[in-house]
Chain A
Amino acid sequence: MSGSLEETKKHIADYKKVAATLAVLTVLTVAVSYLDVTVPLAILIALVIATTKGSLVASVFMHLIGERSRTVHWTLALTALFWVVLMFIPLLGQADHIGVPKTLSNANAPAAHGDEAH
């Protein structure tokens, strides 16, 4: 990051724009949740907005957009890779059951008929 006064003043102008954008996107996230859409589409829209907001915070507030250090780049790239693996683990677990209407037990679920018999 540069330490020049002019650049700092320019950054401050950027922070204000990003702050306004984040506030608008937060309201938009809530507004979209009231739309009558299917659950997968609602999840997709919410995550797209959240990812946009997260990218703005990371790139502008955390200054990743001007980060020149390769050490930081590699650290974050490796982290992102492992994060993707983490997110795929639940999906891999479900892959065994594709097409089979069998689900994991859940505290919210009503008691199974088999359980009532015992």
Chain B
Amino acid sequence: MEIPYTVEERPDTGINNVRLGIWLFLASEVMLFGGLFSTYVLLRVGATEWPLGASLLNVPIGTFNTIVLIGSSVTMVMAHSSLKLSDFNKYKLYMGATILLALTFLCVKGYEYWEKIESAHLPADSTYLAIYWTMTGLHGIHIIGGVIVNAYLWGPGSGMWRTKREQFENRVEAAGLYWHFVDLVWIFLFPVLYLL
């Protein structure tokens, strides 16, 4: 059965279902992370003491990871542009770079977690650490999800380029929108948790 409006625009919404679907999903994600940011504000405003993020976390490592994630957003958007220019080899290169940068981010984050566990800075230790582990953990799960989707689109899923080009381009665009959103969340998480 052919799924309708995967490429062509729906007359009532003005966009195809892929883009409508990903934007609705991202809207729900905004509310998910918004709830946690709201919780952070509630806990921080009500706390008698709040540690400076830099006193517990490694700021240079956090800065490095921020640059890595921004870099992956750039390679992701370049991967999509390469498809628009019909340059499949460059697409593979940029998408591969996106996956590698995402894995770098996860490895660095894993090292940070290991450091925290070694020094017994666990969620139960303080409200700050509880919100740090929750927010960065949820963000990390989103990164893992993005890596799985991007790896599929880089590997087995890329065969669609030969048969249904427009549909494949749409899939990469949707994955890209998700990836930029994950980057956007980190842009706010970094100063809130590491610097303030």
Give chain A's interface residues, CB within 8 Å of chain B: 3, 5, 8-9, 11-12, 15-16, 19, 22-23, 26-27, 29-30, 33, 39, 42-43, 46-47, 49-50, 53-54, 57-58, 61-62, 68-72, 75-76, 78-79, 82-83, 86-87, 89-91, 93-94, 103-104, 106-110
Contacts and interface: CB of A to CB of B under 8 A. Distances in A.
Interface string B35-77: 1011101110111111100100001000100110011011011
A71 B13 CA distance: 6
5 contacts: A12-B81, A57-B180, A69-B14, A76-B23, A91-B41
Contacts of A46: 191-192, 195-196
Interface centre among B39, B42, B54 (most CB of A within 10 A): B42
Interface centre among B19, B23, B71, B191 (most CB of A within 10 A): B191
B53 to A, nearest CB: 9
A106 B195 contact: no
B20 to A, nearest CB: 6
Given A15-B81, A108-B49, A108-B128, A70 B14 contact: yes
Contacts of B76: 61
A72 B188 contact: no
B15 A71 contact: yes
Contacts of A68: 14
Contacts of A78: 27
Contacts of B41: 87, 90-91
Contacts of A49: 191
- Dominant secondary structure at the A interface: helix
Contact of A30 (B50, B59, B127): B59
A86 B38 contact: yes
Interface size, B (range): 35 or more
Contact of B85 (A8, A16, A83): A8
Contacts of A39: 196
Nearest to B47: A106
A102 to B, nearest CB: 9
Contact of B31 (A19, A30, A53, A83): A83
Can you list the 7 inter-chain pairs with the closest CB atoms, starting with the nearest?
A: A104-B46, A90-B42, A33-B195, A46-B191, A106-B47, A109-B48, A79-B27
Contacts of B81: 8, 11-12, 15
B27 A54 contact: no
A15 B180 CA distance: 13
Contact of B63 (A22, A30, A57, A89): A30
A114 to B, nearest CB: 14
Given A104-B42, A107-B127, 6 more contacts: A8-B84, A29-B191, A61-B76, A79-B27, A90-B39, A103-B47
